[in-house]
Amino acid sequence: MNFTPNSFSDGGELSTPEKILTRVTSFGPIEALDIGAESTAPMNESIPFEEEWKRLEPHLSLLKSLEVPLSFDTYHSENIFRLYDVLKMPLIWNDVSGKFDEEVERFLRLHTDNKYVFCHNLAPERRLSGKHMNYISKLDGEEYLKELGDYLKQYARPQVILDPTLGFSKTYDQNWYTLENFSTLQSYVNHDEWMLGFSRKSFLRKKLGIEKLTPDTREDLDLFHTNVLVKILPSISGTVWIRTHRPELVHNL
C-alpha cells in the first residue's frame, strides 16, 4: 500500500482511515503489510525524509492496530529508526537502495526478529535510489544472471530477504530473463529467503501493450501477474515472499 500522491499504481487512493481499512480487508489473509510513502519510479523526483515521515506519521496508530507484521518500503534510514521507536514492534525494512551499510547493521541489532530486504539497485548512493534506471548492467542472459547472483550473495545471511528487485536497474530483457530463470538465480546464491515483487511493474505493462493504467487495464495487469506466478512458482525453492498489490489473487497458488 502506498501513501503517496504520485505512485503510478495507486497514488492518492488511501487518503482516509476508512479507505485504508477497506483496502486491507479486501486482501484476505496476509503475512505482512508493506507500506510505501515515496514513489521511486524514475519519472518522480526524490523527496527528503521529513516529507516521507509527514506522509507516514498520521497512519501509524491505525497500522499498528491491524496486528499484522509491518514492512516499510523506504531508503531513508532516518525513518526506519523513527518507525521502530514509535511502533515498538519488530519490522521489515524493505530498502530499495541496495546499500547494506552501518545503518542496516544497526537496525538488525535492534531486534532479532527484524528483517531486512536487500535489493538490487545499482545507483551509487541512497539519495539516488530513485534514479536506478541511470545505472544498468551491460550484460545479458546467463552472464547477467551470474552478475546479479554475485551482487545478492554478498549479504545472504540470517534476517536478510534477498530481492532481485525486478523493475530496478534492469532493461526489459534483463527483467524477463531474471524472472523466467529465478530458480537458476537461487542456485547461484544458495539462500533460503527471497522476495519477488513485480506486481504492476512497467515491464509487465509493456508485455501487454498497456500505456495507461485504468480500472480495466489494471485488472488485466493483475491477472497477468498472477498467471506469470503460476508458471514460475513450481520451480522455486525455499521461502519466497510475494509482494503484490492484490494478495487475494495469489492466495491459492
pLDDT for 133-188, tens place per residue? 999 999 999 999 999 999 999 999 999 999 999 999 999 999 999 999 999 999 99
What's the whole-number mean pLDDT along residues 59-73?
Answer: 95
CA distance 146 to 184: 9
Helices of type H across the chain: 17-27, 49-56, 60-65, 77-87, 102-110, 141-152, 172-180, 182-189, 202-208, 215-232
pLDDT of residue 43: 63
pLDDT of residue 111: 97
List, for residues 96-141, the tens digit of each pLDDT value: 999 999 999 999 999 999 999 999 999 999 999 999 999 999 999 9
pLDDT of residue 45: 77
Residue 115 lies in a domain: yes
pLDDT of residue 16: 81
The answer to whether 11 touches 55, Cβ cutoff 8 Å, is no
List, for residues 12-22, the tens digit of each pLDDT value: 566 688 888 99
What's the whole-number mean pLDDT along residues 78-97?
Answer: 97
Residue 210 lies in a domain: yes
Q: Is the pLDDT of residue 7 over 60?
A: no
Domain range enclosing 115:
17-249
CATH number of the domain encompassing residue 51: 3.20.20.20
Q: Is the pLDDT of residue 95 over 60?
A: yes
Residue 125 lies in a domain: yes
pLDDT of residue 47: 82
What is the tally of structural domains in the chain?
1
Contacts of 25 (CB under 8 A, 6+ apart): none
Q: Is the pLDDT of residue 11 over 60?
A: no
pLDDT of residue 13: 67
Residue 5 lies in a domain: no
Question: Quick one: pLDDT band at residue 33, thresholds 50, 70, 90?
Answer: very high
What's the whole-number mean pLDDT along residues 66-94?
Answer: 97
| Sheet-wide strand order for 193-196 | 33-36, 70-73, 91-95, 115-119, 160-163, 193-196, 239-242
Residue 182 lies in a domain: yes
Residue 91 lies in a domain: yes
Higher confidence at residue 7 or residue 185? 185
pLDDT of residue 10: 58
pLDDT of residue 8: 53
What's the whole-number mean pLDDT along residues 182-202?
Answer: 96
